[in-house]
Each structure stands twice: as structure tokens, then as C-alpha cells.
Structure 1
């Protein structure tokens, strides 16, 4: 079912955050028929019940979407007689022919529950099914007529006041933001057997009220009625809106990422492979391997041939290095250079840096121990000398360090003197 059109508008309520944004109070009036019978069981002490007029009014406070408290007033008339014969065709055995009860007033407080909303997935529904139950007091005055056509008051000294339990159900239609239409039926269960003026003591007296009426919400018309607001549909729409918003944000992020990727590809593109992006390359299509400047243009070629500088190593140079190497001492079984060797190595470093010489250092050991260990130790000792020289300012590319272990002896390893000669560092200065 779709929501009927009307000219009145209300502000969107949004997700439910309390009743402040809604109209919660309403009043109603109704009219209909009263009958001394209840369809769920129980009637009266006469064989035939009659329909009579009834009228009512109420004030309602909507506590939640599905629940309200309603204060009801009801008045009217109840009638019945013994015109209907019993099931065996005989007349009822009763001294009374009819009764008439004036329901002067009744007041009750009821809890009303909206058990179903038609058009359930609409934020504002237009038809509701509701049930109600509560308790109240009724004041009525029965009169009875005997078979001799004598009418008397059941209680000559005044009205009867009894407690009763009302149970009802109905349909409500939203005609506009200002008017609701109501159809309902309520059964009343008095706490006594005095309604028809014949107290049999078995609690048979019941009465019901079928009615139609109108309801008028109170408060500002700009606010929606709480009873018609559907929080489930509102939440569903809100989640759908959030989902759509997230989808839009994700799509926008994808577009931004795609644009960023395109910009990065454009920024990093280098068609001629000269190391300068096409975006900044002022000289595209330079030959492969050409040296270029920051703008991607070929650097001017140096046509001046560098002067060839000949390096001469003197005997004095060799002697200085030879003495330093001859006096080189290491920690026993280690590659650590003893401090006593530092002054001589400093002079070698000064020579190399001043004259631009290169030097090759070769480490050797005797045959004591494993060959693999000796090879490692010889290499480490040659590297220690190189590290020391580099630490004193020598260009690392000017120093080559190799290790030969015990593979190149210059004396016999069978004697202590021979082994001493084999434990050495040799050099070539060039």
C-alpha cells in the first residue's frame, strides 16, 4: 500500500532519538453500538441481546512507536429480552421479560499496542492494527420488566459501580497529519453479575462496544506523529544512505587513485632512457648511452686529451714501505695490528697520498693449523693493513689486499726459523 497524498507536510524525523521531535498526545471521539454480549465468551441472563447506542472519548499518550497509554470514557445503553425460545422450543423459565441498563459512565486506563503496520517498509505508515487491555470502573443503572409488564429498578437506592477489564482491537487509518480514522471493538468483563439486573452469581454478564471515530493529534503540525513513525524503515533507509555514501566515496577514491597513477606514469615516463622524465626532457630521443644534463640534452664532449702523468717509484720509496712491512706486528693468531707498528704505517700512508702510488698487499702464513683457517687469517691481516691505510686518508681504490695462506712459502716450514719467514706480508708499490 502506498502513502496517500495530502497537502500537509512535516519535517523529516530522522532516526529515532527520543520523542521530542514527535507529537505524542492526541484526543479522540467515537460512536457506535453497545451489546450485552462478548464474542469471546459470556453474555447475559436473557435469551436475546439487542444493539443500542454508545458513545465514547479518550485521551492518549504515545510512549513509544508501538505502545501508548489511553484513558477512555464510555456511555450508552444496554438492552436484552427473553423473546428468543430455548433450544428445545420452550420459553425461558424466567419471571422477567426484558432489561434495560443505562451505562451512565465508565472510565478505564488501557495499554494500546501497535502489533502491525501496513506498508511496513515505509517511514510513515497509513494503517495500523492495534490491541488494547486495561482496567477501569463503570457506573450503570439496570431496570427490569417482569412478564406481567411491570418495570422496576434493580437497585432502587442508586447506581451500581463495578470494576471491569476491557480488551479490544481495531484498525486506525491516517487521513492526514491532523486526523486519524478509527474502527474498533472492545469487550468488557465486569467483576460482578449485576449488569442485566438478574444476579445468578455465575459471572455471565459481559458487554461489548463496536465503534467508529476520529482522532486528533495535539501539538505542532510540523512534527510527525510518533505512532506512525517506523524506526525500522528509517534505520533501513539511513543504512542504505550510508552505504550509498560510502560507495560514492570509494568510487571517488578509485578515480583519484587512477588519476594519480596516470600522473605518476606521465611523470616517470622516459622514452629515450636518458634518465630524464619526458615531462622535463627538452631534448627527446637522445641516443642511448649519451650522457645528458638535467634537461635531457647531450653534454658537450671534452676534446682535450688528459695529460699522461708517469709515476716513478724510487728506491727510497720502496725502502720506506719495506721497513714498515718488515716491522709489522700482529696479535698472536689474530689480524689485529699492534700499536708499535702504527708510526711506520703512518709514513706509508703519507707516501701513498702525496705521490698517488698504488700498493698491493699479500698476506702469507706458515703451515701450522688448518689450511682454510690460514687462508682466512692471511686475508684478514692484509685487509687490516688496508683498513689502517684508508683510515689515514689513502684512497681505497689505491690499495689491494689479498691472502694466500700457506700456499706460497719462501722457507721450510719444518724449522721455527723457516716458519717465521713464511709468516709475512709482502707488497708491490706502483
Structure 2
């Protein structure tokens, strides 16, 4: 196998925890993602809904998971529906899950063909007091197209209008935020693959190299290592492009004397890494570049020193912004007197640091978590401060991934070079 799937016990445990959190008499319904079209007869590579992966491990279209812990018949408390496979489908599309294989992967004993879903659901839904429907409730979600879940949820509500409906997402956000050991191990492997890509890239970096060539080196290393590839669209921005926060075209050549910002991460077994490093194209930082780089590195280490269970993200972010402001004053970018008299609604720090400090990481790169709740043991987050000085063509971001422990954090990227001296030494080899 290209990569190891997490154990069926992991998926079974996730379902058990979810069902324990569901209201008495409730039924939960989850759908896989659609296969999305491009044009003509083309389709995009299939990407499974993360909740479906978390609860079943089934990475296949036309999958439905029904959880009904109060069902009188124990065999109907967990039902997994998968697309019927046959010889014709195997010839044209390749191997699909048989019922037996779906059980081995997910731990669900009752596996049915998706074509039988409507009839069986109709028999069971009339017994339920409430139906919990799943949807994408990520705070930054922007759904410009109707998903399979949205479409089938609407059809369910139209067909059974007298039922009481509820939201499944808040329960899943609580569960998914706390990473279990198998998840952490998958993230560790993703970090290790990302590190291998970074070390590979340091050996080929030079003026004239295309940003796309740097991306290709990461891609090669990720795929060679068993990853399905990049966890997200990689950012490889040289010079002025490093100051564009979501620069993903990666279409220009690197210039001597510039910095190149690389925001990349490998996927492993569906879990993700998210790293940023900013290195000198010519192999050595200028005095000014080094000054800004070390200021960003100091902020990242400060942020890591104050994260622990019980800390509220909003308060943590404010402390980090104050540290960034001190750095900007030290770099001569903000006047101390001006900072003391600034309008709090328009903080000066945002001239040079425009994005967030941290986000949760897991099955999704910007992973789900309960809103407005404190950090907790078992959370995995990024820490990614940056300073972007467009007038100087300097954009620097440094980002590592951290597991929150009982009394602080564990740096999951501690072995990835980050000090100026080590980066320059590796680039000189």
C-alpha cells in the first residue's frame, strides 16, 4: 500500500464517542463528497469529506454513514452504505470496496449498497425522535457550489418535514479537536515527509530557479515518500511574491539576493502537516533579512512558550500581537510613540502582520474545533508569525506544528532546520 490507513479500532472508537454524545433517540446521517466535474467529460480528483474519514476511514464516493444508537435492533445502530462494485466498474474505475473490505476498514459490521439507502432509511427514520444532519460549519467555509451533503440534507427535510432536525457538526468539532495517538503519529509522519522535502529543496535553491521547480521538488519527495502529495496548494514566493499571503501561482524565477517564502506541507494517511520556511535564494541572508528573520523566529518561540491548556485563543493572539509590535518597533517599522497613541480598532501591527497566529491542524489543514473555547491538551495547532515589508521586498513567515500537552507544547517540527546558521550551512553544501 502507498500509505497506511489508521486502524478500524480508531474509526470504531470515534463512532462510539460520537454516539455517546448524541441526544437520546437521535439518528445521525453523514454523506461522502461528490466527484466534482471540470469540463467536457473531465472530473477533479476525488477528495473525501473529512468527517466521513474520521468516522469510517472510507475514502470513496457515494458513501453514507447512518448512526442510530437507540435502534431497537443492535444491527441497525451503525450502518455503512457503499457504492455497489462489479466487474464492469472494476475494469473502468478500478477496485472499489466490497462489503467485507468496508467492514475491515471501518469496523462497521452492517454494510449495505448505497442503492438500498432510501428504503432502509425510510424504515428507520420513523423510529427516531431527531435527525442530526452534518454540514460544513467551519468558520471560514465558503461554499460556492452545492455539496452532496447539502443536496441530500435538503431532500431529507423535504421528504420528512415533520421530523425534528439538529446539527451534527458541533459534536464532531469537539471530538476532532482533541487528537488521539494514532492521529498524532500520522501528523508526525506528515511532518517528517515535509522535512525531507525541505532538506531536498535547500540543495537545489539558486538564482534563476523557477518557483514552480521548487514546488516540483517538494512534490517529488512527498510522492516518493508515500504521501498523496501536498496537503494544500503550496506557496513558493520569491522577493515581492513572499508578501502575497496566498500566492499559489508559483510562476516566476527566483532572483539573486531575494528571499523565498515556502509554505508547504505533506499529507499522510489523510492527516496533514503545515510548514513555512523563508530562505535566501543566494544562500546567505543579508544583514537586514537576518534581522527581520530573527525577530519573527523570536515571536514564534514566544508564542510557543505561552500556549497551554486553559489559554483562550483570543487572549493568546493579543499577547503575540503585542510581541510582534515590539519587534516592529525594534526594526524601525513602527514608532514607539505612535504605537502608544494608536487607535485600538486599527492596530499598527496589522500593517506588517495581516493574518492569524495559529490554527488547528489535522484531517483538514485549517481543522475544525469548538469556537470560543480554550486550548486543551491534545489539540494540534500551528504557530506562524510573519513580518511583511513590501517596500523592502521582504516577506518572512516561519511556521511549525505543535501538540498541546498537559503543561505546554511539543514541537512536532523540532528537527526541521530553522536557525539561520543551519539553513545557510545546508544551502552551502
Give the alignment's TM-score, normalised by structure 1: 0.19
Greater helix share, structure number: 2
Greater strand share, structure number: 1
Higher RCO (CA 8 Å, separation ≥ 6 residues): 2
Give the alignment's TM-score, normalised by structure 2: 0.19
